[in-house]
């Protein structure tokens, strides 16, 4: 038989032969173990990421965290006592869209485990008793409706009554909540008046801005702190950069409305890494003798 025919038959036998295996089953990697960093595209092990306060170990990107995780990061273990949990959001306009307002509320309540976009209460921060509130951008973008405004106002009144320092962590990309119309806009004035009364008594109010803090939240209580701190690279402002560019028809700086930009222009007092936030707040409370 010619060599060329033998070679062809040999190649056909190799192609038809079953693949050689080691007899071991291929192991699949469980889902939910890894997260890709939006800042540097590095793949992060979720357990290590959480232990690092949800900050990328490679580039320092600060991931968005929920209200409960934020409270766990800042407060002493088991010291937080939530208040005003009974407040229920209503649907005064009977808003209908792609989804009704009530359907949207139920959806985000199920997704986040929260009743509303704001959690308030009293806790201890390195032994210092504080009144603290956190808005959560995962819940309708942390927007401020009647219940959020009421909870912030009641927190300020509680802090005034108990003579406690006030800390509010803002993560609100939605500003005033369109589902409630003018009733939502009224919360800007209500929260500002409550904060003003608190500050007249010369108690310290520390406002912490996280990514994002925008719209009516930034235009009211979030900008009224005696000390205003922001996390690195957080988006801070009123209207978003795309809206501003379309309005003024000019290209904005690449770092426009970031924490670093507004610090340079005097809107805030400092930028603090999340991993150093509790230590920084402890020093401030000690300074205020709170």
Q: What is the CATH number of the domain that holds 249?
A: 3.90.226.10
HSE-CB at 232 with a 13 A cutoff on CA atoms is 15
Average of pLDDT values for 6-35?
57
Total tally of structural domains belonging to the chain: 2
Quick one: pLDDT at residue 19? Answer: 53
Q: Of the residues 17, 41, 63, which one is the last residue of a structural domain?
A: 63
DSSP H stretches of helix in the chain: 3-16, 46-51, 67-74, 101-112, 146-162, 182-200, 215-218, 241-248, 259-264, 277-287
Cβ atoms of residues 243 and 234 within 8 Å:
no
11 lies in some domain: no
Summarised one tens digit per residue, pLDDT across range 241-284 is 889 999 999 999 989 999 999 999 999 999 999 999 999 999 99
Quick one: pLDDT at residue 173? Answer: 86
Answer whether the bond into residue 212 is a cis peptide, omega within 30°: yes
Cβ atoms of residues 242 and 284 within 8 Å:
no
Residues 45 and 187 in one domain: no
Residues 49 and 148 in one domain: no
Q: Of the residues 63, 81, 103, which one is the last residue of a structural domain?
A: 63
Compute the distance between CA of residue 53 and CA of residue 210 in angstroms, rounded to an integer.
14
Residues 69 and 195 in one domain: yes
25 lies in some domain: no
Compute the distance between CA of residue 241 and CA of residue 174 in angstroms, rounded to an integer.
14
8 backbone dihedrals φ, ψ, rounded to 5°: -65, -45
Residues 50 and 170 in one domain: no
Summarised one tens digit per residue, pLDDT across range 92-116 is 999 988 899 999 999 999 999 999 9
107 lies in some domain: yes
**pLDDT at residue 220 tops 70:** yes
Question: Which residues form the domain of 142?
Answer: 64-287
pTM, two decimals, is 0.87
């Amino acid at each position: 038989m010619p060599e060329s025919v033998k070679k062809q038959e040999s190649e056909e036998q190799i192609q038809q032969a079953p693949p050689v295996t080691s007899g071991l089953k291929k192991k699949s990697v469980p889902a939910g173990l890894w997260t890709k960093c939006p800042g540097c595209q590095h793949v992060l092990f979720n357990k290590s990421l959480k232990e690092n306060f949800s900050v990328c170990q490679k580039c320092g990107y600060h991931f968005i965290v929920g209200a409960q995780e934020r409270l766990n990061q800042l407060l002493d273990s088991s010291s937080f006592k939530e208040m005003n949990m009974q407040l229920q959001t209503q649907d005064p306009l009977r808003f209908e869209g792609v989804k009704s307002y009530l359907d949207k509320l139920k959806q985000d309540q199920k997704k986040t485990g929260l009743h509303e976009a704001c959690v308030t209460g009293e806790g201890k921060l390195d032994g210092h008793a504080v009144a603290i509130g956190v808005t959560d951008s995962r819940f309708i973008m942390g927007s401020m409706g009647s219940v959020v405004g009421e909870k912030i106002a009641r927190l300020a009144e509680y802090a005034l009554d108990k003579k406690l320092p006030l800390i509010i962590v803002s993560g609100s990309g939605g500003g005033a909540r369109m589902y409630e119309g003018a009733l939502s806009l009224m919360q800007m004035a209500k929260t500002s008046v409550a904060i003003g009364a608190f500050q007249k008594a010369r108690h310290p109010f520390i406002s912490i801005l996280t990514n994002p803090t925008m719209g009516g939240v930034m235009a009211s209580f979030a900008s009224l702190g005696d000390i205003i701190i922001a996390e690195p690279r957080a988006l801070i402002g009123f209207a978003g950069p795309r809206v501003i560019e379309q309005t003024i028809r000019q290209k904005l700086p690449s770092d426009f409305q970031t924490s670093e930009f507004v610090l340079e222009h005097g809107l805030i007092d400092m930028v603090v890494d999340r991993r150093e936030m509790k230590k920084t707040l402890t020093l401030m409370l000690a300074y205020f003798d709170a």
